[in-house]
Amino acid sequence: MTDPDTVLPTISARERPAGAPGGWSRREFIKGVIASSATVSSVSYFGAGCAAPLPAQTGGVERLLSLQVNGQTRRVDVAPNETLATTLRYKLGLTGTKIGCNRAECGACTVLIDDMNHYACSTLTHRVRDKEITTVEGLESADGTLHPVQQAFIDELGPQCGFCTPGQVMSAVALLRSNPNPTRAEAQRAMSGNLCRCGAYDHYLNGVMRAAGATTMTASVDGGEG
């Protein structure tokens, strides 16, 4: 019995492009790219099959994208039907983005696309080639300072099992970028696309409101407005 809607649409069907059975594989191609020009940093994510000798590299170049992820330009090979969650987790090594359902039910895979929160499991990577993508790994400052939402989630003990937490963080960040001073009810609605089976909604909302306060204070200091 198969479960096609939840099979990872990953490193897989697009291994062998249509019409090229038994020809070069995408993975082998990537391996060649890595060897020649260090397109992607995370070689180990392509572990399986790496030992095969490299065939001639022809075609497929149009699948090489430049993605703007967490302020960096990342060159990555992406199949036409590949989801952003797959690209982030399996090609760019950004495993903070979780796959809880892989069908837009739970929100564990939430990332920002141009400051708007989206389900990465239901976003095709090719659709975001010209966008700014932010994952949970991209929030922390270089000096280790956490984003106010992250710090507030710690202070309010938002996470329990933690699996939904990256998605909750990203939805909260998106909310505060569009509405720095939400009411609790606005925050509740804005966060409602993120399930938490532990049921930690109260504590996450406390965190959002605390972060809103912190963000506002920072803004008022920076901007000199009350």
Partner 1 sequence: MADLIGKDFTPPDVRAKVTGAARYAEDFRMDGMLFCRLLKSPMPHAVVRSIDASRALAMDGVVAVLTADEVPPQPGPSNNILTNEPHFVGEPILAVAAVDEQTAEDAIEAIVLDLEPRGFCVDPLQSLRPGGPDARTDGNTFSRQDGVFAHKWSGSDFQSVTEGQLPEGEPTVEWSYGDLESAFEEATLVLDESFVTASHAHHSMEPRTCFAYWQNGKCFVHGSTQSQAFVVPGLANYIGIDAEDLVFIAEYCGGGFGSKGSAYPVMAIPAHMARKTGRPVMMRISRAEEYFLGAARCGFQGRIRMGFRSDGRLLGCDLYIVQDNGPNTGFGDLGSAAGAVSLVYTPEAMRFRGVQVLTNTPPRAAQRGPGQNQIACAVEPLLDKAAGELGLDRVAIRRINAPDSDSLYGSSRGRITSAHLVEALDLGVERFDWEGRRARSRQRNGSKIRGVGVGQAYHSAGASGFDGLVRITPDGILHIHTGVGNLGTYSYAATARAAAEVLGYDWENCVIHRGDSRRHLPWNLGQFGSNTSFTMTRTNYVAAVDAAEKLKQIASIRLGGSAEDYEIRDEMVVHRTSPGARMSMARAAQWALEMGGPYSGHNLPDDLNDMTRRSAEALAGTGLIGVARDPRIDGTVPALAVGFIEVEVDVETGRVEILDYLGVADCGTVLHPQGLAAQVRSGAVMGFGMALTERHVYDARWGLPGAVGLHHAKPPTYLDVPIEMDWAAVDIADPDNPVGAKGVGEPLQGCAAAALLCAISDALGGHYFNRNPIVPDMIVNAVEDRPSATRPLATNTQ
Q: Could you say which residues in the range 79-118 bind partner 1, by CB under 8 A?
A: 89, 94-103, 105-106, 108
Report if residue 161 touches partner 1, rule: CB under 8 A. Answer: yes
Backbone angles phi, psi at 116, to 5 degrees: -105, 140
By the rule CB under 8 A, 7 interacts with partner 1: yes
Q: Determine, following the binding rule CB under 8 A, whether residue 122 of this chain makes contact with partner 1.
A: no
Query: With binding defined as CB under 8 A, does residue 200 bind partner 1?
Result: yes
SS3 111: strand
Among 36, 178, 202, 218, binds partner 1 (CB under 8 A): 202
Site map 17..36 versus partner 1, x via CB under 8 A:
-----x----x---------
Say how far apart CA 103 and CA 98 lie, in whole Å: 12
* Nearer CB in complex with partner 1: 176/222: 176
Is residue 164 within 8 Å of residue 106, measured between CB atoms? yes
Q: Tokens 């506002």 identify what position?
A: 216
Only segment of 33-41, 53-61, 122-130, 197-205 that touches partner 1 (CB under 8 A): 197-205
User: Edge-to-edge strands of the sheet including 110-113?
Assistant: 72-77, 64-69, 132-134, 110-113, 116-119
CA separation for the pair 33, 150 (Å, rounded): 36
Please tell me whether residue 120 binds partner 1 under the rule CB under 8 A.
no
